[in-house]
Amino acid sequence: MKTFVLSAVFGLLVIPAAMAAGEHEAPVRDLVKKEISKWVQEPAIIEAVRAQNNTHASLSQNEIKLTRWTRNGGPRPPRRRGR
């Protein structure tokens, strides 16, 4: 489980950097390798991610989508036609 959490968090940080194009790509990769990869291995970070996962384990995918749209007082997501 620890490996999965670390891989997921690391992937979220590395993939966008790897997909980015331009002169900022190399410095971002270096930052991830040298600094951020250490952060995601910290026991406090791992426990915080686990705690959030446990807190929100009962949410459905639809509830997660709604939360993204409305957590800051924003509008509800548009309804899809035909549903």
Task: Tell me the pLDDT tens digit for each residue of 17-30.
Answer: 556 567 888 898 89
pLDDT of residue 6: 62
The sign of the CA dihedral 5, 56, 65, 69 is negative
Query: Looking at the predicted structure, is the pLDDT value of residue 1 above 80?
Result: no
pTM of the full predicted structure?
Answer: 0.45
Tokens read off for 30: 């270096």
Find out whether 69 and 46 touch, Cβ atoms under 8 Å: no
Digit-coded pLDDT (tens) for 31-79: 989 988 888 889 999 999 999 999 988 988 888 777 766 666 666 666 6
pLDDT at 59: 87
pLDDT score for 48: 93
